[in-house]
């Protein structure tokens, strides 16, 4: 499939402009500059910084070298939610295994997928963690997919700018190869839901599960994490999110009505 057929409205803009690199809570300004340089070398330009510890900073400017344009146009956000707002595909990076496994791809396949979606005009975020602790579980659970660079198992943690370099290079290769992996949502009838729509749905779901007394201390461990993973994997579209939220609203309505009839004697009879 040619890029023209996937991106009919906007052929002059590079699909790489639909891909943002998000750095969460970076400590060292030098790393931020080195990331800007790694990105520009591979034709990426959209840098988002979530609560950087020191930015702007001379060290960042120095390490960015001639990528100071990427650095200076970086968008600084207060929360990860702000940085991934509007993104239909969110990819989390991790240097190690996590307790609940998530859909995980290697850098090549993951970045081919990211490029293919960007080429179909989806906004994509690739999220990188803190130098000392990586991303929290909560942050990783806001991602549709995870990617791990298969480094030395005994020493798998790369410097953040090096990790950005590896993934940006794979994006560049996906662009140059012109080989687009199959995008099963390219001709979808409704736009894929953005990260913030899904997050609102998941908050609503949790609230409703409490209302119907399903989410109790004795509920299976990591219940919400497993439900999050289920929905992140599904890639809901905007209409599907609206339908599901309608189901929740109606559930809440009837449960509240039943509880008030019950005279507030407790929800166990439901
Ligand atoms: N000690 C941290 C490592 C953080 S390294 C931890 O155990 O999680 C800083 C960031 O670089 C990571 O959050 C991730 O975004 C990226 N990174 C480093 N090594 C990586 C790898 N092997 N695969 C994918 N991302 C990696």
CATH of the domain at 159: 3.40.1280.10
For ligand 1, say whether the CB of 148 is within 6 Å of any of its atoms: yes
In this model, does residue 102 exceed pLDDT 70?
Answer: yes
Same domain, residue pair 106 and 46: yes
- Give the sign of the dihedral formed by CA 183, CA 187, CA 189, CA 191: positive
* pLDDT value of residue 179: 56
Whether residue 64 is found in the same domain as residue 19? yes
How does pLDDT run across 187-221, given as a tens digit for each residue? 789 999 999 999 999 999 999 999 999 998 887 78
DSSP 26: -
Q: Ligand 1 centroid vs 27 CA: distance in angstroms?
A: 14
Q: Ligand 1 centroid vs 203 CA: distance in angstroms?
A: 28
- 65 and 134 fall within a common domain: yes
CB 222 within 8 A of CB 117: no
Please report the atom of ligand 1 found closest to the CA of residue 127: 15
pLDDT value at position 220? 79
pLDDT tens for residues 122-162? 999 999 999 999 999 999 999 999 999 999 999 999 999 99
Closest residue to atom 5 of ligand 1, CA basis:
131
Looking at the structure, tell me whether residues 43 and 153 fall in a common domain.
yes
Residue 169 and residue 204 in one domain: no
Mean pLDDT taken over the chain: 91
Cα(6) to ligand 1 centroid in Å equals: 33
As for how many domains the chain has, the answer is 2
Q: Does 182 fall in a domain?
A: no
Cβ(157) to ligand 1 under 6 A?
A: yes
How much is the pTM? 0.86
Ligand 1: nearest atom to the Cα of 157:
19
Tell me, yes or no, whether 105 and 162 share the same domain: yes
Domain that holds residue 102: 15-177
Residue with tokens 């990586």: 134
CA–centroid distance, 158 to ligand 1, in Å, is 6
| pLDDT 10s digits, 8-32 | 444 458 999 999 999 999 999 999 9
CATH code where residue 220 lies:
1.10.8.590
Residue 19 in 3-state DSSP?
Answer: strand
């Amino acid at each position: 499939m040619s890029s023209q057929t996937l991106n009919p409205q906007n052929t002059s803009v590079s699909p790489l402009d639909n891909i943002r690199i998000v750095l969460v809570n970076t400590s060292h300004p030098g790393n931020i500059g080195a990331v800007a340089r790694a990105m520009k070398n591979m034709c990426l330009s959209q840098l988002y910084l979530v609560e950087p510890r020191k930015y702007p900073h001379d060290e960042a400017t120095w390490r960015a070298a001639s990528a100071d344009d990427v650095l200076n146009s970086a968008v600084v956000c207060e929360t990860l939610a702000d940085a991934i707002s509007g993104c239909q595909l969110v990819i989390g990076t991790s240097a190690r295994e996590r307790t609940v496994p998530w859909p995980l791809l290697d850098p090549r396949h993951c970045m081919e997928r990211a490029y293919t979606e960007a080429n179909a005009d989806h906004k994509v975020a690739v999220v990188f963690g803190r130098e000392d602790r990586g991303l929290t579980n909560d942050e990783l659970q806001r991602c549709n997919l995870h990617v791990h660079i298969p480094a030395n198992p005994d020493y798998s943690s790369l410097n953040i700018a090096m990790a950005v370099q590896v993934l940006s290079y794979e994006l560049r290769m996906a662009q140059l190869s012109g080989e687009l992996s199959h995008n099963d949502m390219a001709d979808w009838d409704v736009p894929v839901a953005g990260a913030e729509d899904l997050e609102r749905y998941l908050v609503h779901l949790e609230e409703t599960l409490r209302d119907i007394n399903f989410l109790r201390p004795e509920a299976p461990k990591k219940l919400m994490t497993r439900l999050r993973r289920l929905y992140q994997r599904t890639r809901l579209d905007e209409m599907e999110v609206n339908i599901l939220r309608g189901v929740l609203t109606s559930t809440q309505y009837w449960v509240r009505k039943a509880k008030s009839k019950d005279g507030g004697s407790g929800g166990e009879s439901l």
